[in-house]
Amino acid sequence: MSTATTIAAGTYSADPIHSSVQAGVRHMGVGAFRTTFTDVTARLTSDDDGLRLDGRVPVRSISIHNPPDFREHVVNGADFFDASNHPEIAFTSSSVELGADGGVELDGELVIKAIAKPLHASGTWREPVEDLAGGTRTALELRAVVDRRDWDITWQAPLPNGEDALGWDVTLEIQLELVKDAG
């Protein structure tokens, strides 16, 4: 992938209204269960050292609300996120490559429950544009598939046919609309 040079130097911060992280997992062997994390904090930095992306999302911002006991199990259960002890999910990039064709490849470290594991994501990016308020915006749309067991998210139940009730692979879809910081 040829690296694009159209992100001007500076820091771009996630617009919290237009940024989210979605997680999807196979459910009961047939359907797909999806949930969204909001309250995304992310920064894309462009300088002489290249591009860097870092971000955080609070576990409690998960869109699961009902039934309340299920939310409590997912948010605070030790076999899910254990948010009482590990309140956020974090990511720090080691490389970000923007292609002239609009593609993006990203590598870094994803931290869940204080467990850091490598993450590779790919997707698309949009060249910066001037917004209605006179600022500059760009966007990244990323996708990655991870095995939740790598972060000790291990809840499972067998179905009558012997298959697992909840898939091990989780598809992450990250939408970041980023605004260039003034200054």
CATH of the domain at 132: 2.40.128.110
> What pLDDT is stored for residue 30 in this prediction?
87
DSSP letter, residue 63: S
In terms of Cβ atoms closer than 10 Å to its own Cβ (0-12, 13-18, 19+), residue 177 is buried
Three-state SS for 172?
strand
Quick one: which H or E segment has residue 77? Answer: none
Would residue 103 count as lying in a domain? yes
Does the residue 3 lie in any domain? no
Q: Which token pair is 80?
A: 């899910």
Q: How far apart, in whole angstroms, are the C-alpha atoms of residue 138 and residue 115?
A: 30
Residue 2, pLDDT score? 42
Reduced to 3 states, what is the DSSP secondary structure of residue 151? Answer: helix
The model's confidence at residue 183, banded by pLDDT at 50, 70 and 90, is low
- Report if pTM > 0.85: yes
Q: Span 140-156, mean pLDDT?
A: 96
133: which 2 tokens?
């308020």
Residue 1 has pLDDT above 60, yes or no: no
CA–chain centroid gap for 3, Å, is 22
Decide if 92 is inside a domain: yes
Taking the C-alpha atoms of residue 165 and residue 159, their distance in angstroms, rounded to an integer, is: 6
Per-residue b/e over 120-146, b at no fewer than 16 CB within 10 Å? Answer: ebbbebeebeeeeeeebbbbbbbebeb
Distance CA(70)–CA(77), nearest Å, equals 10
In a domain, 169, yes or no: yes
Give the ranges where 55-161 is alpha helix by DSSP (H): 68-76
- Domain that includes residue 129, residue range: 10-180
Q: Look at residue 28 and tell me if it is in a domain.
A: yes
The mean pLDDT value for 164-174 works out to: 95
Q: What is the mean pLDDT of the chain?
A: 92
Q: In the chain, how many domains are there?
A: 1
User: Which residue has 């971000």 as its token pair?
Assistant: 55
Whole-angstrom CA distances from 98 to 51, 114, 145 are 9, 29, 20
Q: Is residue 5 part of a domain?
A: no
The pLDDT tens digits of the residues spanning 44-70 come to 999 988 999 999 999 999 999 888 998
Q: What's the pLDDT score for residue 150? A: 97
pLDDT range class, residue 128, cuts 50, 70, 90: confident
Each residue's pLDDT tens digit, 26-49: 999 888 999 999 899 999 999 988
What phi, psi does 134 have (nearest 5°)?
A: 90, 5
- pLDDT given at position 176: 96
Residue 43 lies inside a defined structural domain of this protein:
yes
Structure tokens given for 168? 């091990």
For residue range 74-116, what is the model confidence (pLDDT) as tens digits?
989 999 999 999 999 999 999 999 999 999 999 999 999 999 9
Confidence at residue 4, expressed as pLDDT on a 0 to 100 scale? 47
